[in-house]
């Protein structure tokens, strides 16, 4: 079975002949860690000869306090993708189906295969989730439905009314997972906050991460907020000590420095607007995005476009025969990408 699985492909770095290198392929923040977070990590390093708190008690309590939820509603993992894997494992048995849009987060098919469940991929409607088709795909074998919001890699979002109507159609035995890895970048006033929805809907849970806006991608820490029975089940599937000590320390420090972090997020959002408007001005079709990346559907030109960017030292994330996802980086990196895109468009 393992021989038939396609491995996850992380974003790659490239370099131009003159040594320039801009990695816009992994949706990382372009900013260095905050000084207060670095200080907390340095202090925490004095205790790496000890095992981390297996329950991540202080971090769990900090997240619970931040969102005004009970600690019993919080489950942690080594990145939100690992929490997603724990969810897959809780339902993993022959015959179980998991529904999600496609294209969406590239890890979903791999996690489904590893858990031994059947993926039901519902094609996007243009660049958006087709919620009607997803609701129709749910049956007695369905145990999970993933809604990646904003969607990776298209950046589009499901709005409040359509999502609530969709949730009303999903049976109670099906857990709807709102994957909100990029929610800090959302500026749409009609975007549905999963942490509001889950309170009155026992079959809704929310995934979030410290990897993107909080800049802790290298430490791997994510979390789920859900009703206690869901959290209890997911906690049973976590590998002991999965969230390491430095990750716990850094996440707590990041929450304490949230105002400063969110100021950085606002700068990324402004650059996102500039990049998208510049691409539209060049003649590209770019859907509205609520994440820290833009999406260009290029079809058969995808790999050629990615190669042209790489020649200029800009790494983007290509999905062959579909399109490219381009992370928002520093102004310098974004300018390099826009120049490469303009040059490709002029050919």
Q: For residue 26, give the CATH number of its domain.
A: 3.90.1150.10
What is the average pLDDT score of the chain?
95
**Same-domain pairing of 290 and 227:** no
With a CB cutoff of 8 Å and minimum separation 6, the contacts of 193 are: 183
- The answer to whether residue 12 scores a pLDDT higher than 90 is no
Q: Give the range among 165-169, 172-176, 239-243, 298-302 with minimum mean pLDDT.
A: 239-243
**Same-domain pairing of 147 and 160:** yes
pLDDT tens-digit map of 57-110: 999 999 999 999 999 999 999 999 999 999 999 999 889 999 999 999 999 999
CB 112 within 8 A of CB 282: no
Task: Give the chain's domain count.
Answer: 2
With a CB cutoff of 8 Å and minimum separation 6, the contacts of 277 are: none
Q: Rounded mean pLDDT of 3-12?
A: 65
**Same-domain pairing of 196 and 224:** yes
Indicate whether this model's pTM tops 0.85.
yes
Residue that is last in its domain, among 205, 225, 255: 255
**Same-domain pairing of 275 and 251:** no
Q: For the domain that residue 215 is a member of, what is the CATH number?
A: 3.40.640.10
Q: Rounded mean pLDDT of 218-224?
A: 97
Residue that is last in its domain, among 255, 282, 301: 255
Q: Give pLDDT, residue 151.
A: 98
* Residue 15, in any domain of the structure: no
User: Residue 10: pLDDT band by 50, 70, 90 thresholds?
Assistant: low
* Residue 181, in any domain of the structure: yes
**Same-domain pairing of 249 and 300:** no
User: Residue 122: pLDDT band by 50, 70, 90 thresholds?
Assistant: very high
**Same-domain pairing of 72 and 142:** yes
Domain that holds residue 268: 22-33+258-346
* Residue 284, in any domain of the structure: yes
**Same-domain pairing of 175 and 251:** yes
User: Residue 17: pLDDT band by 50, 70, 90 thresholds?
Assistant: confident
Question: Closest Cα partner for 155 from 338, 329, 328?
Answer: 328
Q: Give pLDDT, residue 321.
A: 96
**Same-domain pairing of 26 and 61:** no
The percentage of residues in the chain with a pLDDT greater than 90, rounded to a whole number, is: 90
| 3-state SS record for 130-186 | CHHHHHHHCCCCEEEEEEECCCCCCCCCCCHHHHHHHHHHCCCCCEEEEECCCHHHC
**Same-domain pairing of 203 and 293:** no
Q: Rounded mean pLDDT of 263-282?
A: 97
* Residue 72, in any domain of the structure: yes
* Residue 111, in any domain of the structure: yes
User: Residue 18: pLDDT band by 50, 70, 90 thresholds?
Assistant: confident
User: Residue 2: pLDDT band by 50, 70, 90 thresholds?
Assistant: low
Q: Rounded mean pLDDT of 14-32?
A: 88
**Same-domain pairing of 247 and 301:** no
Residue that is last in its domain, among 192, 222, 255: 255
**Same-domain pairing of 205 and 240:** yes
User: Residue 13: pLDDT band by 50, 70, 90 thresholds?
Assistant: confident
**Same-domain pairing of 247 and 284:** no
């Amino acid at each position: 079975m393992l021989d038939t699985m396609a491995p996850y492909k992380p974003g790659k770095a490239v370099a131009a002949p003159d040594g320039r290198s801009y990695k816009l392929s992994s949706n990382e923040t372009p900013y260095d860690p905050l000084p207060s977070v670095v200080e907390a990590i340095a202090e925490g390093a004095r205790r790496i000869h000890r095992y981390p708190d297996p329950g991540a008690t202080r971090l769990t309590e900090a997240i619970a306090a931040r969102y005004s939820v009970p600690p019993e509603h919080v489950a942690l993992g080594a990145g939100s993708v690992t929490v997603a894997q724990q969810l897959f494992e809780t339902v993993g048995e022959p015959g179980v189906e998991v529904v999600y849009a496609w294209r969406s987060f590239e890890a979903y098919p791999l996690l489904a295969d590893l858990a031994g469940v059947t993926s039901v991929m519902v094609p996007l409607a243009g660049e958006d989730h087709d919620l009607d088709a997803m609701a129709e795909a749910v049956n007695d074998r369905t145990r999970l439905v993933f809604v990646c919001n904003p969607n990776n890699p298209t950046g589009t979002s499901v709005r409040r009314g359509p999502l609530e109507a969709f949730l009303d159609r999903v049976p109670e035995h099906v857990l709807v997972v709102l994957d909100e890895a990029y929610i800090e970048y959302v500026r749409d006033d009609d975007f549905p906050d999963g942490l509001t929805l889950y309170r009155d809907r026992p079959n809704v849970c929310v995934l979030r991460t410290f990897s993107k806006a909080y800049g802790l991608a290298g430490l791997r820490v994510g979390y789920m907020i859900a009703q206690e029975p869901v959290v209890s089940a997911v906690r049973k599937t976590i590998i002991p000590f999965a969230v390491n000590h430095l990750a716990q320390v850094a996440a707590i420090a990041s929450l304490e420095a949230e105002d400063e972090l969110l100021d950085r997020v606002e700068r990324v959002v402004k650059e996102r607007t500039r990049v998208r408007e510049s691409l539209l001005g060049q003649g590209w079709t770019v859907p509205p995005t609520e994440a820290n990346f833009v999406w260009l559907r290029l079809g058969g030109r995808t790999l050629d476009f990615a190669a042209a960017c790489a020649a200029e030292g800009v790494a983007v994330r290509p999905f062959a025969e579909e399109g490219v996802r381009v992370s928002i980086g520093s102004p310098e990196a974004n300018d390099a990408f826009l120049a490469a895109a303009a040059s490709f468009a002029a050919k």
